[in-house]
Amino acid sequence: MGKITEILSVAQSRAKDMGLPYEGSLMPDEAYTIMQMAPGAKLVDVRSRAELDFVGRIPGAVEIEWASYPGMKPNPHFLAALEQQVDKEALLMFICRSGHRSHYAANVATQAGYNDCYNVLVGFEGDMDARKHRNVSNGWRVLGLPWEQS
């Protein structure tokens, strides 16, 4: 079994165990490996423009806000933007700060006919620690995966 197949199989098992409505759930390092090894795969970053500008961006990610700052108002054009920027046959990996908004984005994309949707668990900044701080125990940045500051 190849590396991509192995990663996707584990991600699909996680989703099945969690009762998720989309194809699978990836850890950040697994999503990065897929980005590197599967040129047609797309990482869709659904964080707000403010998060992208002030917290950091992932090079090569498709950026489509799920909700806008301030107020975190839902983006009524999310699906239209996704359909404009990403082919329905692509393997899609959705990421946000913590894995929550990207969960909803993966679900909506699946309902819209994207069959290969994955959520990136723990997201860009990871889970909160006991002091309610992120970027400490897990997440894209903590793992040292590529990102840049604007």
CATH number at residue 96: 3.40.250.10
Structure tokens at 77: 């054009």
The reported pLDDT for the residue numbered 135 is: 87
How many angstroms separate the CA atoms of 21 and 65, rounded? 21
pLDDT of 1: 62
Report the pLDDT value the prediction gives residue 23, as an integer from 0 to 100: 98
Mean pLDDT, each 10-residue run in order, the chain (150 residues)? 93 97 98 96 97 96 95 95 97 97 98 97 93 89 93
What is the reported pLDDT for 48? 97
Note whether residue 142 is domain-resident. no
- Domain span holding position 49: 3-120
The pTM score is 0.96
**pLDDT confidence of residue 150:** 74
129, part of any domain: no
Residue 137, pLDDT score: 83
Let me know the angle formed at the C-alpha of 12 by 11 and 16, rounded to the nearest 5 degrees: 120
Residues whose CB falls within 8 Å of the CB of residue 99, separated by 6 or more in sequence, listed in order = 119, 120, 121, 122, 123
State the pLDDT at residue 93: 98
How large is the greatest C-alpha to C-alpha distance in the chain, in angstroms? 46
Looking at the structure of the chain, the number of domains it has is: 1
